[in-house]
Amino acid sequence: MPLELRIEKKGRVRRVRPFWYGRFEINGDRQCLNLGVKVKGTPPASLSLKDEGDMDFERSRVVARAKLESVIEEARTKQGSVRLVEKLYEIKTGEVIRTVLLENLFQEWAKIPRKRKLDERYSSQCQSTLKRFAAFVRSENTKATEIAHVTRSAAQSFLDAESKRGVTAKTWNETLKLLRTTFKHLLPIGAINPFSNVPTRETETIFRKPYSPEELAAIVDAARTDEFIRPLLVTGICTAMRRGDCCLLQWKDVDLQRRFIAVKTAKTGQTVSIPIFPMLYDELKLAAKNQNPKDSFVFPEQAQMYQENPDGITWRVQKVLAVAGFRDEEESLHPDDKLLPAPKQGSADIVRGEIHVARKEGLRRASVRDFHSFRVTWVTLALTAGVPLELVQKVTGHKTTDIVLKHYFQPGQEAFRLALQSAMPKLLTNGQKSPKDELLDILAGMTVKSWKKDKMRMKKIMAAL
């Protein structure tokens, strides 16, 4: 049962620290701690405990030894209690309490049973977060080696550190949910989850902007000669499918004869039914004509790029958007957003809008015009045109109407007004005509002299529909 004197140097002078220290070992776990007992009197000149000091020193040695014995006895009692609890747990559940090391946190998280296979990109993001959390806990407390050692205060300290990093509330909430769920699955039943009572933060919602029919035409025109990205853009525009689902679309899910696509979405696992519009039909016929019998993917090269480097798809989409007039000013970009040195060719001198906007908080700007905006555009155009919400949900795969209406239905004010005006009785619209009636009146009254003006009026009405 070794007691210790801690020696400190100041220049050439060596002196004893004011408190006794004690070392002990319980079941292979070595401990060294300050006993809180002051070193009194004069220690031996050798500063070795093999020698004796004066009477006061020896009295303090006796007190320190008694304190160390008490500490060891308490530690053994606690260790015994822990072992008793573990034994009772094993008897009750038939399972042995498994220790999860912080350094193995990601590996254990990956073993948690799931309905669907983990997406590689999501798995990589979770791995980064879990490793960052484990490193943070160990830096704060070197003795914390297992997840059972993580306290509520340590959990809160990590979340506070995430806030100081400048992440958005959405990212902060996702980190909290990941850690809460991980500890829920990996801690023994009945153990206190250090993240259980931490509330989520209010998030800032920045909606993606839908493209107008004119803007869609400009995007398709900008991609007309790009045989790689054009088929994906046309698929996204015509189906409202997410980027990954477009890239990984398979022939078994495409019925060209009946002109329908029925596919299970990667994100939600919902099976969606989508009619094939003429523009998409032409692209699919071209793909079928050039199909290699061994390929299961409709767009095999695009599928390969998405699986190996999804940012490559993003880069190609941004390249087309830049030519169509959608791009950011370089000085306003975060370094991670600068995927594309926007080329200036063709219609690139036309500026239709930025693809990112500033957030109130967060490390990066929010994307408002990208591939996912085609999904927002499809929903907005369909609902504005009067397509029943139930049919829209069959295409998008959303289970609830709330998500569709909150995040995807983003009509412009004029389009919204005209759509409602067309559907409302004349009493509520004060006799104003619907867009359809306005178009018919223009056609009926068109003359050689007025046709240019009437054409502009018709274009304006059609663009708002």
For 342-377, give the DSSP string.
Answer: ----GGGG---B-SEE--SSSSSPEE-SSTTHHHHH
Q: What pLDDT is attached to residue 337?
A: 44
Q: Which residues have C-beta within 8 Å of that of residue 72, sequence separation ≥ 6?
A: 1, 24, 26
Indicate whether 192 belongs to any domain: no
- 131-140, 340-349, 368-377, 443-452: the lowest-pLDDT one: 340-349
Q: Is 264 helix (H, G, I), strand (E, B) or coil?
A: strand
Count of positions (residues) in the chain:
465
- Domain boundary among the residues 171, 186, 201 is at 186
8 Å CB contact between 276 and 261: yes
Reading the block at residue 233, the tokens are 């853009």
Indicate whether 291 belongs to any domain: yes
Q: Tell me which residue of 238, 235, 260 sits closest to 249, measured CA to CA.
A: 235
Place of tokens 């009926």: 444
Indicate whether 437 belongs to any domain: yes
Residues 81 and 150 both lie in one domain: no
Residues 141 and 247 both lie in one domain: no
Cα atoms in the Cβ-side hemisphere of radius 13 Å centred on 416: 7
462 pLDDT band (50/70/90 cuts)? Answer: low
Residue 443 clears pLDDT 60, i.e. is over it: yes
Q: Tell me which residue of 365, 374, 393 sits closest to 206, measured CA to CA.
A: 365
Taking each helix axis from N to C end, the angle separating 120-140 and 152-165, rounded to the nearest 10 degrees, works out to 120
Q: How far is CA 453 from CA 80, 440, 441, 456, in A?
A: 92, 15, 14, 5
Q: How far is CA 50 from CA 37, 109, 191, 225, 325, in A?
A: 19, 51, 46, 89, 84
Report which DSSP code applies to 404: I
Residues 356 and 390 both lie in one domain: yes
User: Averaged over 443-463, what is the pLDDT?
Assistant: 72
Residues 33 and 135 both lie in one domain: no
Helix, strand and coil content of the chain, in percent to the nearest 5, comes to 55, 10, 35
**Higher per-residue pLDDT: 460 or 429:** 460
**Higher per-residue pLDDT: 443 or 18:** 18
Q: What pLDDT is attached to residue 268?
A: 80
The strand pair at 254-255 and 29-38 is best described as unpaired
156 pLDDT band (50/70/90 cuts)? Answer: very high
- Domain boundary among the residues 92, 113, 141 is at 92
Q: What is the CATH number of the domain that holds 244?
A: 1.10.443.10
Q: What pLDDT is attached to residue 460?
A: 75
DSSP string, 170-237: HHHHHHHHHHHHHHHHHSPTTPPPTTTTPPPPPPPP-PPPPPPHHHHHHHHHHTTT-TTTHHHHHHHH
**Higher per-residue pLDDT: 342 or 295:** 295
Average pLDDT, the chain: 80
Residues 84 and 108 both lie in one domain: no
Q: Which pLDDT tens digit goes with each residue over 73-121?
A: 877 776 555 555 445 445 455 555 567 889 999 999 999 988 778 877 7
User: Averaged over 378-400, what is the pLDDT?
Assistant: 80
Residues 349 and 282 both lie in one domain: yes
Indicate whether 375 belongs to any domain: yes
Indicate whether 191 belongs to any domain: no
8 Å CB contact between 381 and 344: no
Select the highest-mean-pLDDT range: 25-34, 39-48, 393-402: 39-48
Select the highest-mean-pLDDT range: 180-184, 186-190, 201-205: 180-184
Residues 88 and 106 both lie in one domain: no
Q: How far is CA 195 from CA 130, 219, 303, 453, in A?
A: 14, 46, 39, 65
Residues 20 and 70 both lie in one domain: yes
Q: What pLDDT is attached to residue 129?
A: 94
Residues 151 and 217 both lie in one domain: no
Indicate whether 270 belongs to any domain: yes
Alpha carbon distance 274, 277 (integer Å): 9
Alpha carbon distance 39, 264 (integer Å): 73
Residues 245 and 107 both lie in one domain: no
Which amino acid is it at 454? Answer: D
Indicate whether 81 belongs to any domain: yes
Q: What pLDDT is attached to residue 439?
A: 66
Q: Which residues have C-beta within 8 Å of that of residue 284, sequence separation ≥ 6?
A: 254, 256, 276, 298
Cα atoms in the Cβ-side hemisphere of radius 13 Å centred on 445: 11
User: Averaged over 144-157, what is the pLDDT?
Assistant: 90
Residue 132 clears pLDDT 70, i.e. is over it: yes
**Residue 313 CB coordination number (10 Å):** 20
- 161-175, 206-220, 301-315, 358-372: the lowest-pLDDT one: 358-372
8 Å CB contact between 217 and 174: no
Residues 48 and 171 both lie in one domain: no
The whole domain housing 133 covers: 102-186
Q: What pLDDT is attached to residue 387?
A: 78
Residues 319 and 456 both lie in one domain: no
Residue 229 clears pLDDT 80, i.e. is over it: yes
**Residue 24 CB coordination number (10 Å):** 17
Strand pairing partners for 8? Answer: 15
Indicate whether 260 belongs to any domain: yes
Question: How many domains does the chain contain in total?
Answer: 4
pTM: 0.57
Q: What pLDDT is attached to residue 302?
A: 94
Alpha helices in 290-355 (DSSP H): 300-308, 310-324
Residue 295 clears pLDDT 80, i.e. is over it: yes
- Domain boundary among the residues 92, 119, 147 is at 92
